[in-house]
C-alpha cells in the first residue's frame, strides 16, 4: 500500500491546536504586547516530490537444486553465499556404481554389435544361397529374423549406454546459470534421494527485481511511467537503513491482473545490483513526480493541525482605531493610526512533504507572508512584531 505524507508539527504547536480553538491564544500575552515572529513569503517553486510504496527485492530467476540420482555426497566445490558461474561444478555424488553401470553398458553394446555383425554375415550368405535355390526358404526367414533382432539389440544397448552416461553425469551437479548460491542444506557424507532432497538454492543476482503494489486507480499512471528509462531516475529505492540506493530502476512490467481482494496490481522494477540488494530484502520504492509545474511550499513548522484540519497564520497590515479617551477634535470621528502588522488565520489544504516544507494545494496565494516562527503563541488578530530572530525570508529551491 502507498505511504501517505505525514505532517510533523512541533509539540508546542500540537498543544496549541488541541487545547485552543482557531483564533484562541495558547499562552498569555501580557499587556497585549506584539508577538515576535518571523515571516516566509509564499512564492511558486519547482518542487520534487515522491510517492513511496513498500517493496520487496526478488531474484529474476531462482531454483532449488535437487539431485537427479541418489547416493552419498562426496564433494562440495563452492563457497556458500558466493557467486557461481553457469556450468560450475557444485556437488559430487558417489559415482562408483554409475561408473560401473556405464562400463557394463559399453560392454553390452560391443556384444550386441558383434552379434549384429555375425547375423549380418549369416543373412548375406543365406540370401546368396537362396538365390541359387541351395537352401530352404525357412532357413532364410530365420536368418533375416535373427538379423533384425540383432539390430534391435544394438539400439537397446546404445540407449542403455546413454542412460548410464547420463546418470554418471548427474553425479556431478552443476550451476544452471550465473548467480548467487545459498547455504548448503547437505554436507559431505549425507545421503540424498533422487528429485527429493533440496541441496541448495541458486538465484540470479544482477540485475535484481523489486515488486510493489499500487492502487488500481493508478494503473494508467504507471503504464505511462514505463516509457522512462533508468537514467531518468523516476524510480529509486530507500533501503532498510534509510539510505538511498545509488542506482535507479525502471519498470519491467505490471502483473496480468488486479487482485480483487485488495484492489491493487503488482508492478516489477528492474534494478542493477552493486552487491547491496539481496533476494527477500524489504525496501521502499520512491516514485518521483513527473509534474514540472510550480507549486506553493511553506515551512512545516508554520502549520497548525486541529481535528484533521490545517491552519496557518499570515501577516496583514491593518489600520486600528485609537483607544477610547484619546485626544481627538470635538465631534470628529476617531482618527485611524498607522497600519500595524497583525496575524490572520487561514485554513489550507496540504499536499506532499518535501524536506522541511509542505506543498499547499489551496488556501494561500503567491506573495502572502506566512508566520514561520512564533505560531505557538499566536491567535487570530494578534498584533505581531516583525523583529523576530529570523525576520528575513529564505526560500530555497527543491
pLDDT of residue 389: 45
If you search the block for the grid coordinates 542444506, which residue do you land on?
Answer: 185
* % residues pLDDT > 90 (the chain): 48
State how far the Cα of 337 lies from the Cα of 318, in Å rounded to an integer.
9
Instruction: Tell me whether residue 208 is in a domain.
Output: yes
Give the angle subtended at the CA of 208 by the CAs of 206 and 212, to the nearest 5°.
175
Over residues 289-295, mean pLDDT: 74
State how far the Cα of 80 lies from the Cα of 90, in Å rounded to an integer.
10
Of 277, 264, 203, 197, the residue nearest 237 (C-alpha): 277
Q: From edge to edge, which strands make up the β-sheet containing 71-76?
A: 172-174, 89-93, 71-76, 191-192
Instruction: Tell me whether residue 219 is in a domain.
Output: yes
Over residues 41-51, mean pLDDT: 81
CATH classification of the domain holding 307: 2.40.420.20
Instruction: Tell me whether residue 4 is in a domain.
Output: no
Dihedral angle over CA of 376, 382, 383, 389, nearest 10: 10
Q: 193 and 110 in one domain?
A: no
- Please give the biggest Cα pair distance in the chain: 163
Q: 275 and 194 in one domain?
A: no
Yes or no: say if 73 and 186 are a contact pair by the CB < 8 Å rule.
yes
Domain holding 375, by residue range, is 11-47+293-385
Domain boundary among 184, 203, 222: 203
β-strand 71-76 against 83-84: which pairing, if any?
unpaired
Domain boundary among 151, 184, 203: 203
Q: pLDDT tens for residues 205-237?
A: 999 999 999 999 999 999 999 888 887 888 999
CATH classification of the domain holding 177: 2.40.50.100
Instruction: Tell me whether residue 156 is in a domain.
Output: yes
pLDDT of residue 8: 36
pTM metric for this prediction: 0.60
Q: 245 and 119 in one domain?
A: no
Q: pLDDT tens for residues 146-195?
A: 999 999 999 999 999 999 998 899 999 999 999 999 999 999 999 999 98
State how far the Cα of 113 lies from the Cα of 294, in Å rounded to an integer.
86
Phi-psi region of 23 (alpha: psi -120 to 50; beta: other; left: phi over 0): left
State how far the Cα of 159 lies from the Cα of 137, in Å rounded to an integer.
34
Asked whether the predicted pLDDT for residue 21 surpasses 50, the reply is no
How many structural domains does the chain have? 4
Asked whether the predicted pLDDT for residue 78 surpasses 90, the reply is yes
Lowest mean pLDDT among 3-12, 76-85, 114-123, 312-321: 3-12
Domain boundary among 203, 225, 258: 203
Measured between alpha carbons, how far is residue 311 from residues 7, 67, 344, 390 in Å? 12, 67, 10, 21
Phi, psi angles (nearest 5°) of residue 25: -85, 140
Which H helix or E strand runs over 243?
none
Binned at pLDDT 50, 70 and 90, residue 338 comes out as low
Q: 190 and 76 in one domain?
A: yes
Instruction: Tell me whether residue 391 is in a domain.
Output: no
Instruction: Tell me whether residue 143 is in a domain.
Output: yes
Of 15, 39, 32, 24, the residue nearest 379 (C-alpha): 24
pLDDT of residue 2: 44
Amino acid at each position: 500500500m502507498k505511504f501517505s505524507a505525514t505532517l510533523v508539527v512541533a509539540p508546542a504547536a500540537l498543544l496549541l491546536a488541541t487545547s485552543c480553538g482557531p483564533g484562541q491564544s495558547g499562552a498569555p500575552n501580557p499587556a497585549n504586547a506584539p508577538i515576535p515572529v518571523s515571516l516566509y513569503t509564499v512564492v511558486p517553486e519547482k518542487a520534487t516530490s515522491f510517492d513511496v510504496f513498500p517493496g520487496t527485492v526478488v531474484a529474476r530467476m531462482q531454483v532449488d537444486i535437487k539431485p537427479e540420482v541418489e547416493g552419498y555426497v562426496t564433494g562440495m566445490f563452492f563457497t556458500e553465499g558466493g557467486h557461481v558461474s553457469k556450468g560450475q561444478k557444485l556437488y559430487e555424488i558417489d559415482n562408483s556404481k554409475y561408473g560401473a553401470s556405464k562400463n557394463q553398458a559399453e560392454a553390452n553394446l560391443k556384444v550386441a554389435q558383434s552379434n549384429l555383425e555375425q547375423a549380418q554375415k549369416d543373412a548375406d550368405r543365406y540370401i546368396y544361397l537362396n538365390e541359387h535355390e541351395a537352401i530352404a526358404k525357412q532357413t532364410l526367414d530365420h536368418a533375416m529374423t535373427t538379423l533384425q533382432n540383432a539390430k534391435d539389440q544394438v539400439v537397446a544397448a546404445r540407449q542403455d549406454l546413454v542412460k548410464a552416461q547420463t546418470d554418471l553425469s548427474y553425479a556431478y551437479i552443476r550451476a544452471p546459470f550465473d548467480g548467487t548460491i545459498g547455504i548448503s542444506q547437505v554436507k559431505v557424507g549425507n545421503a540424498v534421494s533422487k528429485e527429493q532432497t533440496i541441496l541448495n538454492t541458486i538465484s540470479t543476482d544482477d540485475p535484481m527485481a523489486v515488486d510493489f503494489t499500487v492502487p488500481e486507480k493508478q494503473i494508467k499512471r504507471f503504464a505511462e511511467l514505463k516509457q522512462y528509462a533508468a537514467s531518468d531516475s523516476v524510480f529509486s529505492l530507500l533501503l532498510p537503513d534509510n539510505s538511498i540506493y545509488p542506482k535507479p530502476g525502471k519498470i519491467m512490467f505490471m502483473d496480468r491482473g488486479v487482485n480483487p481482494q485488495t484492489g491493487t496490481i503488482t508492478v516489477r522494477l528492474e534494478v542493477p545490483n552493486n552487491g547491496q540488494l539481496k533476494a527477500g530484502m524489504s525496501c521502499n520504492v520512491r516514485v518521483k513526480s513527473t509534474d514540472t509545474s510550480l507549486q506553493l511550499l511553506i515551512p512545516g513548522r508554520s502549520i497548525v493541525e486541529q481535528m484533521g484540519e490545517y491552519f496557518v497564520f499570515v501577516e496583514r497590515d491593518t489600520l486600528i482605531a485609537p483607544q477610547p479617551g484619546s485626544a481627538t477634535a470635538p465631534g470628529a470621528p476617531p482618527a485611524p493610526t498607522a497600519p500595524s502588522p497583525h496575524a490572520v488565520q487561514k485554513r489550507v489544504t496540504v499536499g506532499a512533504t518535501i524536506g522541511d516544507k509542505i506543498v499547499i494545494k489551496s488556501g494561500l496565494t503567491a506573495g502572502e507572508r506566512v508566520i514561520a516562527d512564533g505560531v505557538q503563541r499566536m491567535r487570530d488578530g494578534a498584533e505581531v512584531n516583525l523583529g523576530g530572530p529570523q525576520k528575513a525570508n529564505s526560500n530555497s529551491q527543491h
